[in-house]
Amino acid sequence: MDKGWMRVLLIAGTIGAGKSSLTDFLSKEMASKPFYENVEDNDVLPLFYSNPERYAFLLQIFFLNKSFLGMREALSNDDNVIDRSIYEDSLMFHLNADLGRIAPLEVEQYDNLLNTMLKELEESAPEKHPDLMVHIKVSLDTMIERISKRGRSYEQVANDPTLYDYYKELNQRYDAWYEAFDVCPKMQIDGDQLDFVENEENLSVILGMIQEKLATLRENKQAGRYCTDHAMAKGDFSADK
């Protein structure tokens, strides 16, 4: 991969979308450090699934802290790939808040903390920002199938049928989240059509798509049209441009 001017690549998507697999592949292609979502070493996650009403706030604070630390480190170096960035944390948090698992006062404090962290990231590295966000879009059926195959007992719909509606709502919210995302240029990959989890040959296809997108952004930058204003990034370099 031509790393030319690229600094940070974000990989986004719902549970089971294949974020970690794509992060692993791209980081090797870039010869860079991957930043993975804290799942395997997360002692709070099983507690959340066992009692969401009690542990939702604690889980989201755990993720927010880890996301902030990972993003800060990634922005301090070049050519990094991030599996689920801090920009997705609010989506997960407010889903649980809307489900009544988090108190209004906790929502207020969380939003204040998130805004403080985002401002800190901006001020600590004003010349650095994510160069591209890649969203892996998958259907609900694919999402649940992959969750089933990876075998974490606390995630299984078979063990807790109420998780079906939770996963359905989460997957739907990612569509709205992607449309509203304007932190940096973005693109979307159809994870059903290009199932790289079951067929690794599709990784090469996805790599080509990402390289093409980056090449377009690079041409715009060289032509003096690259916009570092995050508020304008979506308008200049949305996935469909």
Annotated binding residues for ATP: 13-21, 146-150, 194-196
**Among the listed residues 10, 127, 149, the one whose alpha carbon sits nearest the alpha carbon of residue 67:** 10
Its sign, for the CA torsion 231, 213, 7, 87, is positive
**C-alpha span between 179 and 130 (Å, rounded):** 17
**C-alpha span between 187 and 133 (Å, rounded):** 6
Residue 83 φ/ψ, nearest 5 degrees? -90, 110
The SS3 of residue 158 is coil
**Which active-site residues does the annotation give?**
83
